[in-house]
Every structure is written in structure tokens, then in C-alpha cells.
Structure 1
Amino acid sequence: MLQNMKGAIFDLDGVIVDTAKYHYLAWAKLADELGFKFTEEHNERLKGVSRMRSLDILLEIGGLEFPEAEKVVMADNKNRLYVEYISRLDESELLPGVKAYLTGLRARGVGIALGSASKNAEFILNKLNITELFDAVVDGNKVALAKPDPEVFLIACRELQLLPEECIVFEDAEAGVQAGQAAGMKVVGIGSREVLKEADLVIPGLHVL
């Protein structure tokens, strides 16, 4: 499966770098300000989900409702805090095997794209010093629909000028696995076999490839 792919599309958080911890810290601070506790277990529900949908889930956990305009301000405040955290990122925070695997794919002539809900994807890639390894970056600024909708992967595939069946998606979230399969692509799950059981292949990280 991996030997024949012409395009590889990677999620960002949990596949390339672990920024989930910084998202969690920022969401937890917002929840604290709103008067309730947001746990790491709660945070699992936010994996691979857009910023506004994540906020809706957080407010649902807290049993709170706000007008749309206030929610936009909350999401912006959370993002400012998150950007403050990730501004300290550097290449040392790349997950094991990432740079070697991407470099190997480039040497084989495989097209490489990022397919992420993050609106800070390009900023993060620059911080990690790996922007030049990607032929296309499709992030939350380019898509209207969140995973499990396949939009992000279909756009990435189009930017690589490939067909869906020629691409493989690398994902760490259940919603991302579903999105990749809905796009007509094979999916490699990064992480737990129990959580990612729908993936075509599940591995602990890119370092094993």
C-alpha cells in the first residue's frame, strides 16, 4: 500500500507534532475563566475538529450557551493564547521519524501535502523548519467543512494534481480517518488501534516506517 502511493497527505497535530497539549492548555484556561473544569479526557473530543466546533463542544461540557458574537471573541482569545504557546516551538518538537520519513518520500518523488483543521498550520511548519518539505498546505483557512467531511483531503489531493486512490492519508483522530476514507483514500492511523480501528493500517508513529 505505502510503496505504491503517489501522494501522502498528513494531518498536523498528533502526526507531525504534538500541539494537542497546547490546545488543551488554552481550552482549559478558557473553561477555568468560565467557571468549570475541562479535563484531558474531554479534550479527546476536540481532536481533528475545527476551532468553532471545539468551542461548541467545550460549552456543551460546561452546560453553557452564548450568542454567536461572544463565541467568536472567545475562540479568538483561545487562539491568541495558543499562538503564544506555539511561538516557542522548534524542530526539537517534531514527533519521532517525521523529518526522515518526509525526506524519504521526497526522494521517491511522492507528492506531500498537509491536510489540517488548524488555522495556524503554516506558522507551525515554519517554526518546525519543514515548510519546504510540503508541496501543498491545506489548512483551516482553505476549507469550510470540518472532518469527518472529506473536503480538506480532496482539496489537498487536487493541489497535488493526483486522484484520491493515488493518495494515502496519515491521521491520528477518528474523525480524520473517517474523512480520509470518505475521500476515497487509504488511511494510516497514527496511535491507538482501539481508537483508529477503521484505518487500513495502524502504527505508533512515522518512526516505524
Structure 2
Amino acid sequence: MKKGFVFDLDGVITDTAKYHFIAWRDLAKEINIDVDLKFNEQLKGISRMDSLERILAHGGRSDDFTPEEKAALAEKKNTHYVELLQSLTPADLLPGVHDFLDGAQANQVPCAIASASKNAPFILEKLGVADRFAAIVDPASLHKGKPDPEIFVKAAELLGFQPEECVGFEDAQAGLDGIKACGMYAVGVLSGEPLHGADITVHQLTELDIPELLQK
């Protein structure tokens, strides 16, 4: 019997990938690196610093910046990203998410957010669903990023459950690998790239029956 739901944020609850792409593209351009949408797929589900390192490697500039300069670049990207997020509203919830969260509440299933984004609390407030989540994992408290399962273990812990007592929802392969690595039941949310290893895949959360899901 499952007792809790653990959600990735971007690509599952809302889609801020376009804002991430714009912010990374603009930053990369400033340091003479070209980033396109295809390359951007590699940045989904991983941390800000890991994304920056991939961009620098992509442009052959991994050794051109000190750790302090890299931190400043990452912060500059985030400032631009947060500015872009100001336009978010509850209308930016992905289709079916509001009804699914209503269903979780009706079935007394506590929910947590397991996202690499340090902006998760702000995003949830803008979307009008912050009160639907009993816990949000602070990425700064983690030692390893996805695909390491640490973030999902932490989310289950914050809900008061073991990982195997929870269902995890992810749209990125790195996150899905993390869910499976800690023994959670994995729901893959298809948003473009194929997903491998999910226990079930859907395009929208409304394709799922919550009481049935809790029996997994």
C-alpha cells in the first residue's frame, strides 16, 4: 500500500523548461558558447552547477573559469530565470495537475516536491498550489544530484515514509533512474524524450486512478 506521492517539479507540475533554456542560452551567448534546444535536453533534471559544467564542456571552456566565477555565472543565470518566472500563474499548471492534486487531498495522500530547483517554493506560490505540498526538499541539503536517489529518499523521509511506501513522478530519465534506485514505484510523465524503466508512463496525471495507484 502506497502512502505518499513525490513529484519532480519541472515537466510534471509545470513547464518552466522554456525559461531555463532562455536563461542558459543568453548566459552561454555572453561567454561565446552556442546552446540550442537539442543540447538543452541534457540539462533537464540536473542541478544548476551541473548544467553550467555541461555548458562549459560543450563550449570547450571547462578550465577557463575559477570556482568563484562559475558560481557568479550560475547566479546570473538564476537571476534572469527568476525574472522570467514572474509571469507564471495558476494557468501554467500542466493539464490535469490541479485535479490530480485535488484527488490526492481527497484520498489523504501527502505530497512532496523533489526538485533540483532552488526556486521550487517560489514557483509553487506563483502556481497557487504551495498549500498542496507537505514537504519540499531543499536541494542545498543534498550531497548528490539526480540520478542519485538521495533527493527521493529525503522526500519520503520528510513525509514520514520509506521510499517503497511512495510513488514518484518524473519526466526526465535522470530523475526516473533516481526513483527506481531507491525502490519507489515510478510514474514516467512523457513530455518529449522517451523514458526507460518506469513502472507506468502517462502523458497527463489524469490518466491515473489514485486509489488504484495506492495499491501498487
Give the TM bin, normalised by the shorter chain.
Answer: over 0.9
- For the Cα contact (< 8 Å) 1:188–1:203, is it kept in 2? yes
Query: Which residue number corresponds to residue 43 of structure 2?
Result: 46
Deviation at 1:30, TM superposition (A): 0.8
Query: 3-state SS of the aligned residue for 1:168?
Result: strand
**Residue in 1 that maps onto 2:4:** 7
Structure 1: distance between partners of 2:114 and 2:193: 23
Contact 1:114–1:139 under 8 Å retained in 2: no
Task: Give the superposed CA RMSD.
Answer: 1.3
1:23 aligns with 2:20: yes
Structure 1 residue identity aligned to 2:146? K
Whether 2:195 is the aligned partner of 1:203: answer no
Q: Distance in 2 between matches of 1:139 and 1:195?
A: 28
- Counterpart CA distance in 2 for 1:128 and 1:194 is 25
Partner Cα distance (2:140, 2:77) in 1 = 17
1:34 Cα deviation after fit: 1.1
The residue type equivalent to 2:80 in the other structure is L
Partner of 1:122: 121
Q: Does 1:103 align with 2:102?
A: yes
> 1:198 aligns to what SS in structure 2?
coil
Residue 37 (str. 1) matches residue 34 (str. 2)? yes
The 3 A distance-change label for structure 1 pair 44 and 101 is same
Instruction: Report the Cα distance in structure 2 between the residues aligned to 1:90 and 1:192, rounded to whole angstroms.
Output: 20
Q: What amino acid maps onto 2:26 in structure 1?
A: K
The answer for the alignment partner of 2:54 in structure 1 is: 57
Distance 1:168 1:155 in 2: 14
Deviations along 1:83-131, whole A, 9 cap, x unmatched? 0000111101000010110110111011211100000000000000101
TM-score when scaled to structure 2? Answer: 0.92
CA offset digits 1:132-185 (Å, max 9, x no partner): 101111132332310011111111101111111110100000000000011111
Q: In the alignment, is the contact (CA less than 8 A) between 1:193 and 1:202 conserved in 2?
A: no
CA contact (8 A) 1:192 1:202 kept: no
Is it true that 1:179 corresponds to 2:166 in the alignment? Answer: no
Cα distance in 1 between the residues matched to 2:12 and 2:124: 13
Match of 2:212 in 1: none
Structure 2 unaligned regions, length at least 5: 209-216
Q: Is the 8 A contact 2:11 2:191 kept in 1?
A: no
Which structure 1 segments of 5+ residues have no match?
none
Separation in 1 of the partners of 2:116 and 2:80?
18
Matching residue of 1:162: 161
Cα distance change of structure 1 residues 134 and 208 upon mapping to structure 2, 3 Å threshold: same
The share of aligned pairs that are identical, in percent, is: 48
Deviation at 1:36, TM superposition (A): 2.4
Q: Is the contact made by 1:136 and 1:159 (CA closer than 8 Å) also made in structure 2?
A: yes
Deviant stretches of 4+, over 4 Å: none
Task: Compute the displacement of 1:192 (Å).
Answer: 5.6
Distance 1:94 1:193, change over 3 A: closer
Q: Report deviation, 1:35.
A: 1.2
- 1:17, CA displacement in angstroms? 0.4
